[in-house]
Structure 1
């Protein structure tokens, strides 16, 4: 099923109004040493039912071939993104993206997404998001992603996931 984008539902200028200054933060490759900080970030960014369990967090921080990037303010992790490549289909998947609530709207999510897309180096990038997550949907639509599918009752609690795709 292909769904049409509805950018008019986004707050006008939401993505455009985000400042993009790296003077206070920077992006680095994450490692297993970031487990505690990533776990804290997950709890701050996602509902309890969406939290990744221990082994998923360890996997995203250690498995080969995974793109894993963190945004730091000083020594504090304030954002994280991960992605993986399907070399057979030439599709990259953004598997998670989160920014601490007090550090949102500073361009951190945009910078993490751009860096992950670059590092995935795939002609097609996909991701999924809760259909109720308007802020994320607006961010992705503003970066050229389009809805290509709906996964019914994908999330705990029965909410659908919207699958977005960007062709580069």
Structure 2
């Protein structure tokens, strides 16, 4: 699978120094569901989290992903993945997702996505995720969440 980023973009580890920019992007991409600032800080401090960002050619945050996994569980989770709308449709979401998957120490990876988020569902399907479960009323506004899963080759 193609994990390359467009010319000038680079994927690297995200740190607490990135949290303000990550929080701003969460609020833009997920206006109803953005993680509160303290919760994002915990994601960056949690020892089993993999936090990656994609940096644009101008040095700004273009996207990020937080994934969680441990060898003690049979599956990990993509906790959040967001690409700045100005940088979408360039393969950055796919590249970040696949980079995070490679770093998680679990064979199967799950995520939850709004049932109405067709672009994200399409990305996940194209990268090998299938719908595992439906969670009616999962989101604050009552929308259904789709739990999707991908099992990696061992």
What is the TM-score with the length of structure 1 in the denominator?
A: 0.84
**Equivalent residues of 2:70, 2:105 under 8 A apart:** no
**RMSD (CA atoms):** 1.6
- Could you tell me which residue of structure 2 aligns to residue 56 of structure 1? 39
Structure 2, unpaired ranges of 5+: none
Matched, 1:118 2:102: yes
After superposition, the Cα gap between the structure-2 partners of 1:148 and 1:19, relative to the gap in structure 1 and judged at 3 Å, is closer
State the shift of 1:35 in Å: 1.2
Which has more radius of gyration? 1
User: Which runs of structure 2 are paired with 1:92-111 in the superposition (5 Å)?
Assistant: 92-111=76-95
What count of residue pairs does the alignment treat as equivalent?
A: 150
**Equivalent residues of 2:11, 2:52 under 8 A apart:** yes
Structure 1, unpaired ranges of 5+: 1-17
After superposition, the Cα gap between the structure-2 partners of 1:80 and 1:159, relative to the gap in structure 1 and judged at 3 Å, is same
Separation in 2, partners of 1:148, 1:157:
22
Separation in 2, partners of 1:62, 1:76:
22
Kindly indicate whether structure 1 or structure 2 has the higher relative contact order, using CA contacts under 8 Å at least 6 residues apart.
1
**Equivalent residues of 1:19, 1:105 under 8 A apart:** no
What is the TM-score with the length of structure 2 in the denominator?
A: 0.92
State the shift of 1:52 in Å: 0.6
State the shift of 1:81 in Å: 0.2
